[in-house]
């Protein structure tokens, strides 16, 4: 396999036209530089530098290689140099974000506005997160993902928390539950729209009710929060959804804290380590984190 370090030596030799000057420039002894020149002659099959009076002159092959070698060394140095700070105003790139339902409706407008202002050449592509598999991240089909981190999340995935969320009950305006104190019994007795993407009809809310000897009356099961809220808006059914994740979707409806204790959830963003040091991706992650923080601050009582 070729020794690519010889390219640097060759570049300096051809630029200086002197073994002594090249050795000083590279910090090598004259004997070490002479050995390097001998290796270069053997590798290229050409003398490269030949004696002419008291000095050395390049051969036709050396003159032919000089510009090419110089460009190769410059390119190699650029590859190994730390990435320069990006210019957002000239950045042209499409980022694919895989998000849970409700994220785009709540945080998408602010995220798009910020990206459009700071990096007008950037396009954000949102795709729906139908499961918790991280294969799209590993296969580079997705740049960034948001959601609750699953136990099966691979150790190679980078994770950063965005915000904490809690579940609330939601009914249409004028619903019987929109008035009076919500007790566990009143909550359980109402017809429910259950949300599941994994085939399970029960969850933490049902476990909390079970401890009180109660069970929800689940009328129908849907695959997403927006569908559950659409049904609750048009019927006497109730939806139980995460508060911050569905702020925009719940506008014009009556929301209330659950009458049973359920654990809060942490919504995070996930990405593959290949993008950890990528300046443009780092900017995107900063945008997502700050937009989530700003939107949460505008919504009193959320958390």
Q: What is the mean pLDDT of the chain?
A: 88
Domain with CATH 1.10.10.10 in the chain: 5-80
With contact defined as beta carbons under 8 Å apart, do 260 and 243 qualify?
A: no
Domain with CATH 3.40.190.10 in the chain: 88-165+266-297, 167-263
pLDDT for residue 36: 92
pLDDT for residue 199: 58
- How far apart are the C-alpha atoms of 264 and 271, rounded to whole Å? 23
Q: 5-80 architecture in CATH?
A: Orthogonal Bundle (1.10)
Question: What is this structure's pTM?
Answer: 0.68
pLDDT for residue 126: 95
With contact defined as beta carbons under 8 Å apart, do 160 and 286 qualify?
A: no
pLDDT for residue 75: 83
At residue 58, what are phi and psi to the nearest 5 degrees?
A: -75, 145
Low-confidence ranges of the chain (pLDDT < 50): 297, 299-303
What CATH number should be reported for the domain whose range is 88-165+266-297? 3.40.190.10
pLDDT for residue 153: 62
Contacts of 256 (CB under 8 A, 6+ apart): 168, 169, 170, 177, 182
- Which tokens hold the place of 144? 């960034």
Classify domain 167-263 at the CATH class level: alpha beta
pLDDT for residue 298: 53
Tell me the per-residue pLDDT of 73-89, one tens digit each, with 9 for 90 and over. Answer: 888 887 777 666 789 99
Alpha helices by DSSP H, 141-269:
184-189, 204-211, 225-234
């Amino acid at each position: 396999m070729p020794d690519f370090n010889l390219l640097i030596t060759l570049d300096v030799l051809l630029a200086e036209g002197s073994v002594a000057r090249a050795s000083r420039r590279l910090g090598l002894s004259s004997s070490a530089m002479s050995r390097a020149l001998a290796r270069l002659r053997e590798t290229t099959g050409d003398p490269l530098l030949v004696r002419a009076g008291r000095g050395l002159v390049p051969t036709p092959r050396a003159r032919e290689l000089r510009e090419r070698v110089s460009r190769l060394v410059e390119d190699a140095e650029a590859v190994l140099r730390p990435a320069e700070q990006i210019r957002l105003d000239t950045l042209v790139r499409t980022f694919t974000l895989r998000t849970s339902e409700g994220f785009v409706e709540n945080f998408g407008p602010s995220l798009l506005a910020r990206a459009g202002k700071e990096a007008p050449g950037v396009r954000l592509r949102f795709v729906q997160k139908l499961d918790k598999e991280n294969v799209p991240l590993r296969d580079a089909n997705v740049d960034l993902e948001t959601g609750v981190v699953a136990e099966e999340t691979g150790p190679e995935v980078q994770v950063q928390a965005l915000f904490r969320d809690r579940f609330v009950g939601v009914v249409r305006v004028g619903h019987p539950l929109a008035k009076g104190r919500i007790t566990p019994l009143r909550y359980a007795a109402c017809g429910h729209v259950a949300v599941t993407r994994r085939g399970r009809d029960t969850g933490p809310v049902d476990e909390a009710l079970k401890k009180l000897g109660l069970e929800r009356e689940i009328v129908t099961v849907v695959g997403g929060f927006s569908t559950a809220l659409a049904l609750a808006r048009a019927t006497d059914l109730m939806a139980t959804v995460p508060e911050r994740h569905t702020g925009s979707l719940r506008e014009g409806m009556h929301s209330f804290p659950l009458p049973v204790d359920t654990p809060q959830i942490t919504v995070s963003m996930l990405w593959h380590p290949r993008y950890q040091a990528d300046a443009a991706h780092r900017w995107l992650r900063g945008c997502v984190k700050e937009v989530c923080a700003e939107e949460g601050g505008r919504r009193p009582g959320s958390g």
